């Protein structure tokens, strides 16, 4: 297991100098942030991230994300050209020593929360999701701006995009994903890169849009679309684990050999479709973090792990919600301890 930490580039207040001081940290997870989805990443920009990381004794082997253009998900006539550009980025990243690319196939929205600062009894705050609040939002009416999106849209663009998806159901989306994978996976294989799809977060349809990377059955189907090691998963425990019906320990074990990247974080279920983000350890939330990590190790997982969204503690603020330093650093040392204990008990 290699412990990694997300870094949002040179404007990130969580600097590389700070990240390198977290015990057992091996590398960063980053991306070229100034190119819109569908653009080519310059070799210089990629090399710059690597240089800055290495100057701080950190590796740059994981990219999150190379975003997939909406027209690829929609399967428009431009899709083929955009997939070629995607392949070019995969090739360039492989040349620069990147070993794993995280991406997602969620229509329009990336991860979604209804509250950015849910107040906890101990005075900290975190992201949370309440289905009832979401039902009250209409993305066609307001210019919603929620955390984590790679693109932001005007009201008009959003309306058009949602209309374009009217004819895309789960089957069509799976079909468009297969077209994408058929082209990208051979390129990734040649470039020495593992592709790792991120599950949909939350793992159910929102605003009438289809979502397909949601649970055990669909993950199995996804992996069989192209049955190659390079067609793998980002096992995001907070995303998949938001659905109480997902048996996370079982899935971790079952898919361990196709999991290349793990986002290890806990959530507390407040209801069927309501949850709040909490500290990483098992006793803080609803997920069995030890059970998940053990199932991964027992199943032969040997990839990258990073702590995921942290709470805002000790007065920290950060415009990247969930991506402050303190709680993620606590999460990192918890993860390091979990894996050390599990791996040593097997020796």
Contacting residues toward ligand DNO, per CB under 6 A:
64-65, 102-104, 110-111, 148, 198, 236, 263, 309, 322
Closer residue to ligand DNO (CB): 104 or 126: 104
Polymer length in residues for the chain: 347
| Minimum separation from the CB atom of position 341 to ligand DNO (A) | 26
Catalytic residue selected from 102, 129, 130, 198: 198
Pick from 231, 234, 259: which is nearest to 111 by CA? 234
126: β partners: 118
Taking CB atoms, the residue at the shortest distance from ligand DNO is 65
Closer residue to ligand DNO (CB): 65 or 346: 65
8 is catalytic: no
320 is catalytic: no
284 is catalytic: no
How many Cα neighbours within 13 Å face the side chain of 86? 30
Contact 102, 263 (CB under 8 A): no
| Minimum separation from the CB atom of position 29 to ligand DNO (A) | 9
Q: How far apart are CA 259 and CA 232, in angstroms?
A: 6
100 is catalytic: no
Closer residue to ligand DNO (CB): 58 or 102: 102
Q: How far apart are CA 306 and CA 1, in angstroms?
A: 10
Number of H helices and number of E strands within the chain? 12, 12
**How buried is 269 (Cβ within 10 angstroms: 0-12 exposed, 13-18 middle, 19+ buried)?**
middle
Closer residue to ligand DNO (CB): 144 or 342: 144
| Minimum separation from the CB atom of position 67 to ligand DNO (A) | 7
| Minimum separation from the CB atom of position 339 to ligand DNO (A) | 20
Catalytic residue selected from 153, 165, 304, 323: 323
**Active site residue ranges:** 198, 236, 263, 308-309, 323
């Amino acid at each position: 297991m290699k412990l990694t930490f997300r870094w949002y580039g040179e404007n990130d207040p969580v600097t590389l100098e700070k990240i390198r001081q977290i015990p057992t940290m091996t590398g960063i997870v980053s991306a070229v942030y100034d190119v819109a989805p569908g653009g080519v990443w310059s070799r210089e920009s990629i090399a710059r991230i690597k240089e800055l990381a290495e100057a701080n004794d950190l590796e740059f082997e994981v990219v999150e994300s190379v975003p997939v253009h909406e027209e690829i998900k929609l399967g428009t006539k431009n899709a083929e050209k955009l997939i070629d550009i995607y392949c070019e980025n995969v090739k360039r990243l492989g040349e620069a020593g990147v070993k794993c690319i995280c991406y997602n196939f969620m229509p329009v929205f990336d991860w979604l929360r209804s509250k950015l600062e849910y107040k906890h009894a101990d005075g900290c705050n975190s992201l949370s999701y309440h289905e009832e609040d979401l039902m009250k939002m209409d993305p066609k009416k307001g210019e919603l701006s929620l955390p984590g999106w790679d693109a932001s849209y005007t009201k008009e663009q959003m309306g058009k995009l949602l209309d374009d998806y009217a004819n895309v159901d789960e089957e069509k989306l799976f079909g468009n994903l297969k077209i994408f994978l058929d082209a990208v996976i051979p390129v990734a294989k040649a470039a020495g890169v593992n592709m790792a799809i991120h599950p949909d977060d939350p793992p159910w349809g929102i605003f009438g849009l289809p979502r397909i990377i949601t649970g055990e059955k669909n993950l199995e189907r996804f992996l069989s679309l192209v049955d190659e090691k390079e067609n793998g998963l980002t096992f995001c425990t907070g995303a998949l684990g938001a659905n109480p019906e997902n048996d996370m320990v079982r899935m971790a074990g079952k898919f361990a050999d196709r999991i290349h990247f793990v986002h290890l974080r806990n959530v507390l279920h407040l209801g069927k479709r309501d949850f709040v983000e909490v500290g990483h350890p098992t006793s803080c939330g609803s997920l069995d973090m030890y059970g998940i990590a053990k199932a991964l190790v027992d199943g032969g997982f040997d990839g990258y792990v990073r702590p995921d969204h942290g709470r805002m503690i000790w007065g920290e603020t950060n415009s990247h919600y969930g991506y402050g330093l303190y709680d993620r650093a606590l999460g990192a040392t918890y993860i390091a301890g979990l894996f050390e204990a599990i791996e040593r008990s097997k020796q």
